[in-house]
Structure 1
Amino acid sequence: MVQAGAGTPSRRTMTRRPRRPVSRTMPTVATAAVIAGALLPLTATTGTADAATLAKADDGASIAAYKWLNKTKTAFDITVESPALGAQRKVRVLLPKGYRFSSPKAWPVVYAYHGGNDSYVSWTRSSDIQSVASKWGVMVVMPEGANGSYTNWFNYGKGGTPRWEDFHMKEVRQLVERNYHAGASRAVMGISSGAEGACTYAGRYPGEFRFAACFSGVLSMSLPGIPALLMYTNTKPGVDPNAIWGIPRVDQANWDAHDPVKLLSKVRGTRFYVSAGNGTPGPFDKPGTAPWDIGYLSEKAVNPTVQDFAKRARQLHIPITAHMYGPGRHSWPYWKREMHTAWPQIMKAIGAKPVR
Structure 2
Amino acid sequence: MPGSPLRRVIASTLGAALAVAMAGVSPAEAASKPSSKVPKTAKAGDGARVTKQAWVTNHEVDLTVKSVALGQTVKVRILVPKAWKTSTTKRFPVLYALHGGRDHYTSWTRSTDIETYAYRYNVMVVMPEGGVNGSYTNWYNYGKYGSPQWENFHNFEVREIVERAYHAGTSRAVMGISSGGQGAITYAERYPGLYRYAAAYSGLLSIRSVGVPALLMFTIVGAGDGTDPFRIWGVPGADDVNWRQHDPLYLIQRLKGTGVYISAGTSGKPGPGDNPKTAPWDIGLLSERVVGATNVTFLQKAQQLGIPVTSHIYGNGRHAWPAWTREMHNAWPKIMAAIGAKRV
Task: Report the TM-score, using the length of structure 2 for normalisation.
Answer: 0.88
Q: Percent identity?
A: 57
Q: Deviations over 1:245-282 (max 9, x none)?
A: 00001000000000011111222421110000122121
Aligned partners of 1:354, 1:173: CA distance in 2, in Å? 24
Q: Tell me which residue corresponds to 2:303.
A: 314
Q: Tell me which residue corresponds to 1:182.
A: 168
- 1:58 paired with 2:39, answer no
- 1:283 paired with 2:272, answer yes
RMSD after superposition: 1.5
Q: Tell me which residue corresponds to 2:177.
A: 191
Q: For 1:135-284, list aligned pairs within 5 A.
A: 135-146=120-131, 147-235=133-221, 236-278=224-266, 279-284=268-273
Aligned partners of 1:317, 1:299: CA distance in 2, in Å? 26
Q: For 1:26-45, list aligned pairs within 5 A.
A: 26=34, 43-44=35-36
Local SS of the residue matching 1:262:
coil
Aligned partners of 1:55, 1:275: CA distance in 2, in Å? 35
In 2 relative to 1, CA 271–126 (structure 1 residues): closer, same or farther, beyond 3 Å?
Answer: same
- Size of the aligned set, in residue pairs, is 311
8 Å CA contact retained: 1:185, 1:210? yes
Letter in 1 for 2:320: S
8 Å CA contact retained: 1:148, 1:162? no
Task: State the shift of 1:310 in Å.
Answer: 1.2
| Structure 1, gaps ≥5 residues long | 1-21, 27-42
In 2 relative to 1, CA 230–179 (structure 1 residues): closer, same or farther, beyond 3 Å?
Answer: same
Aligned partners of 1:199, 1:93: CA distance in 2, in Å? 21
Task: State the shift of 1:316 in Å.
Answer: 2.1
Local SS of the residue matching 1:214:
strand
Aligned partners of 1:333, 1:246: CA distance in 2, in Å? 33
| Structure 2, gaps ≥5 residues long | 1-29
Q: Which has the larger share of helix?
A: 2
- 1:96 paired with 2:117, answer no
Q: Tell me which residue corresponds to 2:63.
A: 78
Aligned partners of 1:252, 1:338: CA distance in 2, in Å? 32
Task: State the shift of 1:156 in Å.
Answer: 0.1
8 Å CA contact retained: 2:136, 2:151? yes
Q: Tell me which residue corresponds to 2:115.
A: 130
8 Å CA contact retained: 1:221, 1:227? yes
Aligned partners of 2:105, 2:66: CA distance in 1, in Å? 15
Q: Tell me which residue corresponds to 1:346.
A: 335
8 Å CA contact retained: 2:134, 2:179? no
Aligned partners of 1:335, 1:88: CA distance in 2, in Å? 28
In 2 relative to 1, CA 256–63 (structure 1 residues): closer, same or farther, beyond 3 Å?
Answer: same
Q: Deviations over 1:115-160 (max 9, x none)?
A: 0110000000000000011101100000000124000000000011
Letter in 1 for 2:236: P
Task: State the shift of 1:318 in Å.
Answer: 1.8
Runs of 4+ in 1 over 3 A off after TM superposition: 22-26
8 Å CA contact retained: 1:219, 1:261? yes
Q: Tell me which residue corresponds to 1:300.
A: 289
Q: Tell me which residue corresponds to 2:17.
A: none
